[in-house]
Amino acid sequence: MVPTRNPAKAARVQALGVITLTLAFACTSVQRAQSADVNEAIRIIPISEASRTQDSGVLPKQPIDPRTTRIGTLVRDKLRDLQMTLDQRQSLADLRRRQGEDIQVRMRPDVGTPSQIKGQLLQPSEAGSGSDRSTAQAFLRANQKLLGIDEADSEFAFQQRITDHIGYRHLRFSQSYVDLPVWPAELTVHLAPEGHVYLMNGSFVPTPRRVVTQPVIDEDAAILLAHAEIDDAGESQEANQSSSSTPQAIGHRGSRGSWSWSPLT
């Protein structure tokens, strides 16, 4: 007796197979994109060469199927867009219209800020003395919505400029909120020898919201609590202390005010 084919069941099985393939591909693309371009994530090995590959133990270098490149790019962009707000997506579209479609953005999961923005030319060089700093600040100001920041000029404070042995400059900025440092949060804007911005990377949070900036407990009480925690961990030591009030960047849970305390030897 030949079993009757159930069209609805067959459709569900087919759909499940498509979903499984899509999710598996998405996971592979995301993991590989952390260390290499997504175009390198998948390679096709002809069946005729499979036995030779197994015998030799060497994986031959094969051309990349352009279809996997297009699918990988689509999946990567969709996953990125899911982590971005509407304002961030619009800001990225504006940046690409100004400076080129080659611009790529990687987002920090559960945080909502870019961990990396790169492209051949993200921001043209500013003329005049101190142009590197002006160029970097102009980039941050022009893309503050993409960064998730309200006022880039006041929230990112310039800290250091480093020039490497081949002429590239790297400008480091720390994040602050109402003149309080956000810890630990900073980014670096990278300039080519010609003076334009080609890369930004870092770890920071969106502009804090509803953060208590006035201490709920005073400095002395905070130090006593810190000592108690250290004593409980068996790490007590005699030392002078310094402390200050600062918002902490704590990822998807937002930011909160706290005392920072460090022993001085």
Residue 101: C-alpha distances to residues 83, 141, 155, 192 (Å)? 20, 20, 28, 19
**Domains of the chain by residue range:** 11-74, 85-203, 219-264
pLDDT value for 128: 73
Q: Which CATH architecture has domain 85-203?
A: 2-Layer Sandwich (3.30)
pLDDT value for 81: 63
Residue 58: C-alpha distances to residues 43, 51, 55, 200, 235 (Å)? 14, 11, 8, 37, 52
Low-confidence ranges of the chain (pLDDT < 50): 2, 13, 15-45, 47, 50-51, 53, 236, 238-239, 250-253, 261, 263-265
Q: What is the pTM of this model?
A: 0.60
- Asked if 161 contacts 234 with a C-beta cutoff of 8 angstroms, the reply is no
For 136-158, what is each residue's pLDDT tens digit? 999 999 999 999 999 999 999 99
